[in-house]
Structure 1
Amino acid sequence: MKQITFEDIYTLGQVVAKNEQYRHVHYPQMLTRYDSNFIEFTYVPHLSEFKEAETYLREYHLKKGQKHVKFYFPANEKPTLELIAYLTDREYEIGFIELYVIQPECFPVLRTNPDIYIQVVTDTNLEIYLQLNYQYDLIFGSEFANQKIDLNKRQYKNKDILQLLAFYKGEPAGCVDIIISNDTVEIDNLTVEQKYRNKGIGSALQKFVMDRFPEKFVILVADGEDTPREMYKKQSYQYQGFKYEAQKIYQD
């Protein structure tokens, strides 16, 4: 199997600064999207180096009206105990993400469920897709949800992104974005409505991707402390590594 790394994961944003310590990614079209506005270190920084980067990013974001800072650390390396202590004392949210890959033929065979139907998003059903995402995105605030609508519209026009809708007994029940590259397709923003969970909708969306792109590696990033990662393992996804992250949201 081809070696898949975090370098294969799609990053929405532009590199606005880069040096030996880190790269700074910024996405002016959606300042509230933390995963598009961050610093990623090339090596685990010493505390003094982190503080310097922290000050730089905080000041940069303040000028843009942004209320957060976010940092990624190098893949498969843990921050030092000194750094963890500092982040904890400063009330950062600390976590890690995990990278998974699967070859489509390894995905489990699913029993056909006539209640579930998958559609590619087109002009006809785009509004349904937008509203389904909007209701989910409201948990992050109305500002984020409204900006996400514009992002979803831009991505709808992107030939390298395929948006899918899932219906359960005729009702919109879930959606997912598929990011297409030469060797991989990335599953992103897989969402299933709360009342339709545990009915096989998430698996059906994934199976659609496997059937649509049988020649590519299917990749995804999972929260390292969330339950879906266990589902991915049961579905034969292969673990490829981890990456620590830390973010802080300021109240003023």
Structure 2
Amino acid sequence: MKNITFDNIYNLGKVVAENDQYKHFHYTEMLTSYSSNFIEFKHLPSLSEFLDAEEYLREYHLKRGQNHVKFTFPDNEKPTSELISFFNDNGYEIGFMELYAIKPQQFPTSANNPDIEVAFVTDENIEIFCNLQYQHNLEYGSEFADQKHELIKRQFKNQDILQILAFYKGNPAGYVVVIVSEETAEIDNLTVDEKFQNKGIGRKLQQYVMEAFPEKIVILIADGEDTPREMYKKQNYQFQGFQYEAQKVYK
């Protein structure tokens, strides 16, 4: 399998500044998206280097009405104990993401369940897709949900971003977004509505992706401290690496 890194992961944000230490990503159309508005360090910074970057990003975001800062660190490197102490003392959330990949033929297929129907999003069902996501996104506030609603509509017109919807007994039950590149198909935002969990819908959505892109390497990222990562391992996804991140939301 081709070597997969976090560089293969799709990022909405555009590089607005870059130097020897970091890249600064920004996405004007969705200022509330922490994962699209952040600094990516090229090497582990010293505390003084981090403080300079923090000051720069905080000022940049304040001018645009953003109340957060977020930083990611180089693949497979944990921040120094000095940095972690600073984060803990100054209200940062620290976590890490894990990167997984699989060849579609390695994904374990499941028996057909006639109660589950999966299909690409089209003009006929785009509003169902939007409404289901909107209800889930309200958890992060109405501003975020509204901006995500507009993003979904923009992505619907992008031929490299495909949206997939699952129904259970005719009811909208889950969805996933697939970002297609020359060599990979990235699973993003895999979600099953709480009312329909533990019915095999998430597996069926993944299987649909595997069957749609048999020649691609299917990739995804998972929270390194959350339970879905264990499910991916059981489904034959291969661990490719980790990436630490730190973010702070100002009240």
Is 1:10–2:16 an aligned residue pair? no
Aligned-pair CA distance for 1:158: 0.4
Give the AA of the match of 1:215.
Answer: E
Over aligned residue pairs, what C-alpha RMSD do you find?
0.4
Question: What CA distance in whole angstroms lies between the structure 2 residues aligned with 1:109 and 1:149?
Answer: 32
- Counterpart in 1 of 2:152? 152
Question: What CA distance in whole angstroms lies between the structure 2 residues aligned with 1:191 and 1:163?
Answer: 12
- Counterpart in 1 of 2:192? 192
Partner SS state of residue 64, structure 1 = coil
Question: What CA distance in whole angstroms lies between the structure 2 residues aligned with 1:108 and 1:243?
Answer: 27
Q: Which runs of 4+ in 1 moved over 4 A?
A: none
Structure 1 residues not aligned, in runs of 5+: none
Question: What CA distance in whole angstroms lies between the structure 2 residues aligned with 1:166 and 1:124?
Answer: 14
Question: What CA distance in whole angstroms lies between the structure 2 residues aligned with 1:229 and 1:215?
Answer: 24
- Equivalent residues in 2 for 1:83-232, closer than 5 Å: 83-232=83-232
**Identity rate of aligned residues, in percent?**
66
- Counterpart in 2 of 1:60? 60
Question: What CA distance in whole angstroms lies between the structure 2 residues aligned with 1:30 and 1:106?
Answer: 36
After superposition, give the CA deviation of every residue in 1:43-101 in whole Å (9 maximum; x if it has no partner): 01000000000000000000000000000000000000000000110010000000000
Task: Give the number of equivalent residue pairs.
Answer: 251
Question: What CA distance in whole angstroms lies between the structure 2 residues aligned with 1:17 and 1:66?
Answer: 17
Aligned-pair CA distance for 1:33: 0.3
Give the AA of the match of 2:59.
Answer: E
Structure 2 residues not aligned, in runs of 5+: none
Partner SS state of residue 145, structure 2 = helix
After superposition, give the CA deviation of every residue in 1:160-211 in whole Å (9 maximum; x if it has no partner): 0000000000000000000000000000000100010111000000000000
After superposition, give the CA deviation of every residue in 1:212-245 in whole Å (9 maximum; x if it has no partner): 0000000000000111000000000000000000
Is 1:38–2:38 an aligned residue pair? yes
Aligned-pair CA distance for 1:247: 0.4
Partner SS state of residue 83, structure 2 = helix
TM-score, normalization: structure 2?
1.00
Question: What CA distance in whole angstroms lies between the structure 2 residues aligned with 1:175 and 1:47?
Answer: 41
- Counterpart in 2 of 1:23? 23
- Counterpart in 1 of 2:70? 70
Give the AA of the match of 1:64.
Answer: R
Question: What CA distance in whole angstroms lies between the structure 1 residues aligned with 2:205 and 2:129?
Answer: 14
Give the AA of the match of 1:143.
Answer: E
Question: What CA distance in whole angstroms lies between the structure 2 residues aligned with 1:109 and 1:210?
Answer: 10
Aligned-pair CA distance for 1:109: 1.7
Question: What CA distance in whole angstroms lies between the structure 1 residues aligned with 2:234 and 2:142?
Answer: 35
Question: What CA distance in whole angstroms lies between the structure 1 residues aligned with 2:107 and 2:186?
Answer: 15
Partner SS state of residue 66, structure 1 = coil
